[in-house]
Structure 1
C-alpha cells in the first residue's frame, strides 16, 4: 500500500459523497426516521457513519442518536428489526440487526468522568446540539436529522474534513478531562484518516498525558490495536511519542530513540522500527491483504531489546547481543500489562525472538536440518516470520538489499522443496506416543516424552526415517539408557 498522505477534499466533493451514501442507506434511515417521527421522537444518523459518508466510505454499521429513552427505542424497533439486543442499555444504547445492517441507537447523552474514575457517568441529554457538543472531535460531531436528511454541523466538522484536521468541539482540555482516552483517539484518527491534529489538541495531549493512567488497560489496548491496524500508523505513533502518551502506554517505543554515537555507526532504531512497520504492511498481501495486528505489532516491537543490550566496544562499534531474546521478554511483559490474549502474546513474542534467526543463513550454508528447525520453531507463525524478516531490511545500499532479498528467496524455496518432500507443516516423529509405549513395553510417563523428543530430533537431522528405521533407533536409544 501507499504511505502517502490522502488527497484533500473540496466542500463540493464532500456534499456529493454524503448525498450518494445517504441514498444507499435509504432503506434503513428513511424507514427508521419516519418510525421515530411518527412516535414524536427525534432521530439522527451521527458520528462515524456521517464522517465516512462525507469521505465516500460505505458503512453497514450505523449509529443513531435519539430523544427517545431506551425502553421507547426498544418498542419502536419491535416488528422492524430482525433481532434486538440491549447489552448497552446502561449507556442508553439499544442495538439491532435489519438484514445486512447493524444498528445502534443511543439516547441523547451528557457524560463526564470523575477525575479518579475509569468509567463514565452517564446522564441523558435533552437535544441533538448538546449531544454533539459532548463528542470527541468535530469530524465526529456531525449528524443527519431524519427523515428530512438535514445536516447538523455546529462545530465546523465539514470544513475540518476538507482541511484534514482533527479538532475538538470545545476546548481540548475540557474534552480530555471528560474522557482521557480521547487523547489516544486523536492519535488513532490521525492514523486512520491521515489527518493532521490541531496544535491546540497536541498541546493539551502533552500537558494532560498523565490523565491516561486512569483509563483501564483494556480500553487503552483496544485503541492501540485500532491505531496499529490503521492505514497510516506512523502518524498516530509519532504523535503518541511526541506528546508523551507513549511513555505511559507503550514506553518501549520512545525508548528506541537512542542517542546516536558521534560517528553515526548505528541506525536510528526508532525511525528504523517505523520503517520496518511500514514495510511489513506492504507485505500483508501474503496474509490475504487485510490489516494484520500480530505482524504489525511484532514489527513495532522487534527491536525493543536494543536499549537494554546496547554496548559500545573499544573500537567505537556498537553491539546489541541477544536483543532478540531480551526483546521477546519485554514484549511479553508489556502485552500482559495491556491484557492481550495469550495467543496474541505467544504469536508476537515468537516473531520477536526469531527475527534474527535468518541472519545465520549466510549465503545458504544452512543444512536441511537447520531449515527444518527454522520451520519447527516458527510453527504457525512462519508466514509472518517471512514478512518480518524481509521488512527488517531497511538498508539504503541497493546491492546489499538485493543480496538479502535473493538469499531469503532461496531460503523460502528450500522450505517449499522440503515441505513437498517431507510434509514439513506437520513435523512429527515417525512414531507416535502409543507406538513408542508398545515397542518399549512401557506405560505413560516421562520416558515416553523423552523418547518422542529423541525421535523428533532425528527427524530434524535426517528427515523422515520410516517406521522400521525409527523403531531401530528407538531400541538403540533405549538400550543406551541402560
Structure 2
C-alpha cells in the first residue's frame, strides 16, 4: 500500500494527478509469496524535473539517471541500504536491431499509459503493475495466469523480444531454474533458434558480453546446478558458452568403476549428490560455486586423454594424466568466458583449475601412505581451496558407482580418519592444524646457523615429526635439533 512509502504519500499530496505503481519482479514475488529483494516504482503524470527536485527534498538520491528517467532513492527514516528504483514511464527501441545488450533508445513520457510501458518488458510475469493508491493490479499480458500455470512466456512475439536484446534468452533460462517454471512452447522454440546469436559481434564487440552470460549461468547454477546444466544443454546455450564440456558426452568409462555411465553422466550425478543426505551428513556448509564448478569440470580432461583396448591396445580404458590436462582446459575455458567477472558471484579460474588438477590425489597415493606434510599441504592450505578439495574427492567417490551399485568412497573415509589422527596427535581443533613448534629463528639460534635453504629443510623435518606425533612440544623439538 502507499502507506508503506511515506514519501510517496507526500508526492500524491503535492501532485494530485500523480499515479504511483509497483512494477517488475516485486509483484511477481509477492504473488508467489517470495521475499522481495528489489523494489521498482513507476510514477506517472509528474515531470522528470519535478520528480527529481521532490526526491532530493525527501531523502537521498543515490544515482540520478535523468537520461533514462530513473532515480535510485533512499527515503528519510529508512535504512541506508534500503534503496528504491523510481522511474518515469518509457518506451524503448532497439537502436541497431542486432540483439545488443542494453542497446536501446529510451524515451520517457510522464503521461505514457501504464499499459504502454508494460509492453516493452521481457516476460509476462514481469509485465504487471500495481497502483499503490487504488490498489488495482494492471495485468494486460496475463502474467497472473502464467504464474499459476508456472510458465515463462515472452511479452508479445518472442522473436522480437529476443532480437531486441539476446541476453533475454539467458534470463528466460535463469527464471525457469530459479522459479522452477517451464518455458512456454513458442518462447522455447524461438529461444533455441536464436541462441546461436549470443556469440554475434557488432562493430568488433560481442553483442552479449561474456560477463553477462557468466552472470546468468552462475545465478542459475547456484540455485539448481544439475537442472541448470541440463537446461543449458538442451536449449543449445552450453555449446555456445563452453563447448568443451560437451566432449564428455559419450566418453565411455570402465563399467566396474563407473556403472553410472559416461563422463557426462558422472559429472551430472556429482552435481546431484551435492543435495544428497550423504553430503549433508558429512558437511554442514552449503556448497559454493567454486565447488559446484569444480565438480562439473573435474573430468573434462578424460575425452582428451582416453585410451581403449580396441583403439590403442591398452589393457583397459585409461585416462592417463587427465587431471593435469583437464586443469589446463578448465583454466583456459573459464578465463575465456570471464567467469571471475560477475560481481559477488565470480569464481577464480586458478582455484577451479587447482581443484581439477588434484582431484585424483588419493588414487595416486593412498591416504595411509601419504606423509603428514602432504596432507597438510593439500587439505589445510591457506593459499588454495583445500576444503573444497576434500569435498570434491567425496563427491567424486560418491558418484563413482561399482557394478554392484556401491560408491567408491572408501579412500575418502581413509583420508578422513587419517586427518582425524593427525589432529589428535597435534591437539588441533577446528579447520586448522596446530602451529609449528619452532621457527626458523629457533633453528638458527639453536644450531648457530646463518639463513640458508637448510633451515627450511630442517623445519620441514621437524614439522613432519610434529604431525606424526613424535614431537609434542617446543622443548622436544629443540632437543631433537641438537641430536
User: TM tier, shorter chain?
Assistant: 0.7 to 0.9
| Residues 310, 320 of structure 1: 8 Å contact kept | yes
What is the TM-score with the length of structure 2 in the denominator?
A: 0.79
- For 2:103, the equivalent position in structure 1 comes to 120
Count of residues paired in the alignment: 445
Matches for 1:68-87 after TM superposition, within 5 Å: 68=46, 71-81=49-59, 83-86=60-63
- For 2:290, the equivalent position in structure 1 comes to 294
| Aligned counterpart for 2:305 among listed residues 305, 309, 314 | 309
Q: CA deviation at 1:106?
A: 2.7
CA distance in 2, matches of 1:269, 1:69: 60
| Residues 289, 347 of structure 2: 8 Å contact kept | no
- For 2:172, the equivalent position in structure 1 comes to 186
Q: CA deviation at 1:215?
A: 0.9
2:217 counterpart of 1:224? yes
Matches for 1:156-167 after TM superposition, within 5 Å: 156-167=142-153
| Aligned counterpart for 1:408 among listed residues 409, 412, 427 | 412
Q: CA deviation at 1:284?
A: 6.6
CA distance in 1, matches of 2:5, 2:281: 36
Q: Which moved more, 1:152-161 or 1:295-304?
A: 295-304
- For 1:17, the equivalent position in structure 2 comes to none
2:28 counterpart of 1:55? no
- Structure 2 gaps of 5+ residues are 200-206
| Aligned counterpart for 1:238 among listed residues 218, 230, 238 | 230
Matches for 1:126-137 after TM superposition, within 5 Å: 126-137=112-123
Q: Which moved more, 1:324-333 or 1:455-464?
A: 455-464
Matches for 1:330-479 after TM superposition, within 5 Å: 330-339=329-338, 340=340, 344-360=348-364, 362=366, 364-376=368-380, 381-392=385-396, 393-395=398-400, 401=406, 404=409, 407-422=411-426, 423=428, 425=432, 430-432=437-439, 442=450, 447=452, 451-452=455-456, 455-456=459-460, 459-460=463-464, 463=467
Q: CA deviation at 1:188?
A: 0.8
- Structure 1 gaps of 5+ residues are 1-21, 477-482
Q: CA deviation at 1:74?
A: 3.4
CA distance in 1, matches of 2:32, 2:68: 28
CA distance in 1, matches of 2:69, 2:458: 61
CA distance in 2, matches of 1:453, 1:156: 72
CA distance in 1, matches of 2:54, 2:281: 44
Classify the secondary structure of the residue corresponding to 1:58. Answer: coil
Q: Compared with structure 1, are the counterparts of its residues 44 and 417 closer, same or farther at alpha carbon in structure 2 (3 Å cutoff)?
A: farther
CA distance in 1, matches of 2:119, 2:294: 38
| Residues 62, 104 of structure 1: 8 Å contact kept | yes
| Residues 455, 474 of structure 1: 8 Å contact kept | no
2:246 counterpart of 1:254? yes
Classify the secondary structure of the residue corresponding to 2:391. Answer: helix
CA distance in 1, matches of 2:87, 2:443: 62
| Residues 33, 146 of structure 1: 8 Å contact kept | no
- Per-residue CA deviation, residues 7-47 of structure 1 (Å, 9 max, x unaligned), is xxxxxxxxxxxxxxx6xxx6535752662574243321111
- Per-residue CA deviation, residues 123-161 of structure 1 (Å, 9 max, x unaligned), is 124332222222121111112122222111111111111
| Residues 73, 105 of structure 1: 8 Å contact kept | no
Q: Compared with structure 1, are the counterparts of its residues 325 and 470 closer, same or farther at alpha carbon in structure 2 (3 Å cutoff)?
A: farther
CA distance in 1, matches of 2:441, 2:66: 54
Q: Compared with structure 1, are the counterparts of its residues 235 and 113 closer, same or farther at alpha carbon in structure 2 (3 Å cutoff)?
A: farther
Q: CA deviation at 1:304?
A: 1.7
| Residues 139, 160 of structure 1: 8 Å contact kept | yes
- For 1:3, the equivalent position in structure 2 comes to none
Q: Compared with structure 1, are the counterparts of its residues 102 and 177 closer, same or farther at alpha carbon in structure 2 (3 Å cutoff)?
A: same
Q: CA deviation at 1:428?
A: 6.5
- Per-residue CA deviation, residues 348-388 of structure 1 (Å, 9 max, x unaligned), is 22322222223456585545454334424586633322332
- For 2:11, the equivalent position in structure 1 comes to 35
- Per-residue CA deviation, residues 429-466 of structure 1 (Å, 9 max, x unaligned), is 555455567666646xxx45x74366336524663756
| Residues 265, 318 of structure 1: 8 Å contact kept | no
CA RMSD of aligned residues (A): 3.6
